[in-house]
Structures are given as C-alpha cells and as structure tokens.
Structure 1
C-alpha cells in the first residue's frame, strides 16, 4: 500500500461503509488498520476505484502509482527429524572414509583396449599391413630441387603463352587471348603429367630397393669364456644393389 491507497481506503470507509465492507474477502489481504507497506490485491484496487468513482473522480492509475509487487516471505523450513540428521551424519562419515581409502590406495589407471592389445588392429577385418615409408625426410637439396622445378614449369607456361600471343599477332585480340590461354593450360597439363610419372617411377624404385633381401656372411666366430677379453667382428652385408656395405660391431 501507498499513502494514496491508505487515504483512498479511509475516504471509501467514510463515504459508503456498506460497500467498503464488501471489498474485504476471506482469500485476500486484510484492509483493516491499513498502513503504508501492507499488501493489497489488484482486485481490491479495482473494486476500490469503482467505488470511489461513484462519489469522487478517482482512477485506477492514480491508485497504482508508486506501487510495487509484493513478494511474501518464504515459509519457514520444517525442522529436521533426528532420523534425517543421523542418516546424513552416517553418509558423510562413509564418504570421508571412502575418500581416505582412495587416497591411501589409489585405483590402478584405466587401461584402454589399444594399450592392452597393441597388435589387435593387425588382425582386424580389412586391416592392411603398415605401408613402408617411401618418403624420407626432406633435405635442403630436395626442397631446392622442387622449387627449381616449380619455377621451370611456370617459366615454360609463360614462354608458351608469349610465343602463341606473338605468333598469332595477325588475329583478333579475343582469338589471340583464347589461343594463349589454351596453350598455357596444355603445357601445364603436360608438365604435371610428366612430373607425376617421374615421381611414381622414383617411388616404385625405392619400394623395389627396400624389398631386396640383404645377404650376410659370417667372417669370424669365437667362443666366449669367463675372461673379460673384447674382440671385434666384421660382418659383410652383400646386397643386389651396387656397392658393398660394411658393418662393424664390438661384442663382449
């Protein structure tokens, strides 16, 4: 309630006590001893404005001025029963004991299927053997060679376009432009096809070279005794490729 509503209630009580008594309903806030800040329902304000209109020029908007929604306080919580208090205490004690036990004896880490069976993927349906690494780490020479190759391809495309443009100087500009673009595209496709074939042959050669068996020959054998003598052994690896690779190792 605002001071204006309190004054309006007093005026209605003085002008028409019988109609004022009808404003009070059992399910609505009490209007007796009206004080600023007391709750009042919207229905009571509507009926009050209708009652005052019969005797004085009063509007509902003037009664609603400076009002705010009333939020009743939350009802008090019911007291906790002894059984509930005992149950919560027991649950807290169990949780603390479980946490302490986990801290002293942590569970083992969860092991994934791939960690437990690392070679299971090799026996799965549709699985293929791991492909051999055909591409070694790129060196500076490889990168330099590829950059030079790209520059050569671009120079070839530009040269062909300029040559076709100059050779067709007696044609119209549209035909010269179309012929130059067609020649450039054609030489670009040819360069890419040739380079792709070269790369494929190099990869095939690497694959064949790596699949060649390596033949080893025993050069010397000895008997190991209790002494701490060290001997050297030379193992010669003979392959079908050119050259002979020597491997030297020390054995105790």
Structure 2
C-alpha cells in the first residue's frame, strides 16, 4: 500500500478544508496517509485545483528494507570447511608440481605443453610427409601411364583409368600408414603422461633458531 508523509503543508490544507472534524482528526492523528484516503479527501473537499497538486504537498514514504540473515547450519559449515581444505590441497599440489605454463582462465593441467620449437618441427614433418605422398602418387601414376603404353599398348582411356586407380591406391595406402604412425605416437604420449613421478625424502635438516643456538653452544 502506498503511503504519503503528512507534511506541514498537507496538515494546513486539511485543517483549512471543509472536511468533517472526525475525518480531519483521523487524518491528522497519524504520521502517514494512504493514497486511498488522500483521494477520498480530494473528492470530498477539492482543496487544490488538481489531485496532483495535493500529492505534491506530501512526501512518498519509503519503508526501510530489512535484510534477512539466515543462520548457517552445521551441514553448511561442514561443506565450507571441506571445500576450504580441498582448495588448500589443490594449491599445495600446484606448488609441488607446477605447470610448465602460467595459470590461465582455462585449466591446462591435462594438456601437454608444446614449445615453439616442437611445433615448428611437427609442422615441418607434416609438410615433408605431404610432399612425399604427392611424389609417391605422381611417380606411381607416371610409371603406370608409361608402362601401359610401352608394354601393353592400351588405349588412352584404359591408361587413364589404370593411372587414376593406382594413384588413388597409393594415396590411400600412404594416408593409412601415416595415420597409424600418428596413433602410435599419441598412445606413447598418453602412456608417458600417465606415469607418476615418485619423490623420496633422503635427509631433512631442522633449521630452527633454537637448534642452531644449541649446536653453537
């Protein structure tokens, strides 16, 4: 419900109006007046030219917002403590086994770091492989084209079909062999990444101030 503050200007308007004494007393006894009561007062007395002019003599009442604080349950506190310990454990593991790269927005702990030299080397190997495949396909195609003309004396249409067939056959074989080679490399990398590094403490030293002073004495 909308409430308006009963200002001095509005009190004076109500007092000087032709409203009944009981109704005036009812409006003036409270600190606030509702929108409905204000409209009823305006319709009964018409103290101002417009209802808007009457509303301007008031102030809108804004009640204070009360924040609700819910008590933390035991389950919530236990969960927060568990999450805090897990975060500390993860931070400790990162401190012992730091990532090769700086930590970013995305988690790169499961990704293998590739240096620019390694990336350049892999790109060079891929380009070399592609060139070798084209050379193999071209050499076989030319050999079949030349052999079908010199040895068999076939027509050009048959020679084209045989040349395309053997060229595609060599291309598929080269691609299959290369993909198998890449799969073996990926399997070897996966096995290598799954190996866990075992660290042992050989000897420890107590460097506290009390022990150092005792040794000197």
Q: TM-score range by the shorter chain?
A: 0.3 to 0.5
Q: TM-score, normalised by structure 1?
A: 0.39
Larger Rg: 1
TM (norm. structure 2) is 0.45
Q: Which structure carries more relative contact order (alpha carbon 8 Å, separation 6+)?
A: 2
Query: Which structure shows the bigger proportion of residues in helix conformation?
Result: 2
